[in-house]
Amino acid sequence: MPLKNQDQEQNRSRINRRVFLKTMGVGTMSVCLEQHLARASNTIKSGREVPAGKKIPIDLIVNQNKHHLLVEARWSLLFVLRDKLGLTGSKQGCGRGECGACTVLINSIPRYACLTLAVEAQGMQIETVEGLMDGEDLGPVQQAFLDEDAFQCGYCTPGQVVAAEGLLRKVEDPDAETLRLSMSGNLCRCGAYVHIEKAVKKAAQTRSGR
């Protein structure tokens, strides 16, 4: 066999071996991952304790999109939203449920994402401030906050908007006392409360067509 043909034959042989090894490697990894997910899922269903650092599979429905994730049992919903899904509208403020900057809607009820474990939120409808937009346009509450200049630094604004959205889904036209009580879990260090109240009232009018 000519030298050139021998080189070509050797190259084809090396390529075939390389493809075979890659294929076998991917197949082995897929089987191992599938077994790992099955074991982790069985651990959750059985109620057994999950070892520290061990990741478990969960499904989260966020802004009407379903996400399959591997998470540690200790991870907060806020951490998963921001660091794993890239939804950074929900802000990390106090980290202990005092400021409301991380507020999200879970089944239309405002909840602190920093105090909610990601595994707790499985099967629930999660909405972040990004999910309140109407396509590329601001939603009614977001637009009202803009129109009424209901912010200064803006850090607390996503949580304020989400809390207001939750209130208006429950009470169509809240009076002043109901509004202030419902929004009291969201703090504004800049003190823009007067404008926030005006924004919520305007959003209520817009939503009702008045």
Q: Name which residue leads in pLDDT, 196 or 10.
A: 196
pLDDT bucket at 8, cuts 50 / 70 / 90: low
> What pLDDT is stored for residue 1 in this prediction?
53
What are the tens digits of pLDDT across the range 44-79?
555 566 666 789 999 999 999 999 999 999 999 999
What are the tens digits of pLDDT across the range 83-141?
999 999 999 999 999 999 999 999 999 999 999 999 999 999 999 999 999 999 999 99
Q: Are 79 and 137 in contact (CB under 8 A)?
A: no
Amino acid at 130: E
C-alpha distances (whole Å) from 121 to each of 26, 104, 187, 199 are 32, 11, 24, 30
Enter the pTM of the model.
0.76
* pLDDT tops 90 at residue 24: no
- Percent share of the chain, pLDDT over 70: 75
Query: For residue 203, which of 153, 158, 147 has the smallest C-alpha distance?
Result: 147
> What pLDDT is stored for residue 52 in this prediction?
65
